[in-house]
Copies of this chain bind each other. A is one copy, B any other.
Amino acid sequence: MGRSFAAGTRPRQAVSIQDVADRAKVSIATVSRALNKPHMVSPDTGKRVLEAVEELGYRPNRFAQALMTRESGVLGIALPDLHGEFFSELIRGADAEARALGYHMLVSSIHDDLGPKPADGPVRVSRALGLIDGLIAMITEPSSVLATQLDAMGVPLVMIGADDTDSNGHDSVSVDHADGARQACEHLLEDAEPGSCYFVGGPRRNYDTLKRAGAFRAFFESRGHTLRADQVQFRDYTIEWGGAWAQEMIERDALAGACVFCANDEIACGVLRIGRDAGLDVPGDLRIVGYDGTRLSQLVRPRLSTVAVPVDELGRSAVRLLIERLNEPDLPPRKIVLSPSLLVHESSSP
Query: Of residues 77 to 110 in A, which have CB atoms within 8 Å of B's CB atoms?
Result: 81-82, 84-85, 87-89, 91-92, 95-96, 99, 102, 104-109
A299's partner among B89, B91, B106, B239 (CB-CB below 8 A) is: B239
* A83 shortest CB reach to chain B, Å: 8
Chain B residues with CB under 8 Å of A129's CB are 59, 62
Chain B residues with CB under 8 Å of A104's CB are 106, 108, 125, 127-128, 131
* A43 shortest CB reach to chain B, Å: 21
How many monomers of this chain does the complex have?
2
Contact yes or no, A127 B89, CB < 8 A: no
A67's partner among B63, B73, B87, B131 (CB-CB below 8 A) is: B63
What's the Cα separation between A4 and B239 when bound, in Å? 65
Closest to A294 in B: B84
Contact yes or no, B95 A107, CB < 8 A: yes
Which residues of chain A have a CB within 8 Å of any CB of chain B?
12, 59-64, 66-67, 70, 72-74, 81-82, 84-85, 87-89, 91-92, 95-96, 99, 102, 104-109, 124-125, 127-131, 239, 266, 269, 273, 277, 295-296, 299-301
Chain B residues with CB under 8 Å of A269's CB are 299
What's the Cα separation between A62 and B82 when bound, in Å? 29
Answer whether A131 and B62 are a contact pair too, CB < 8 Å, given A67-B67, A74-B106, A106-B106: yes
What are 10 of the A-B contact pairs (CB < 8 Å)? A72-B131, A73-B131, A87-B92, A99-B108, A102-B127, A104-B125, A105-B106, A105-B108, A107-B107, A266-B299
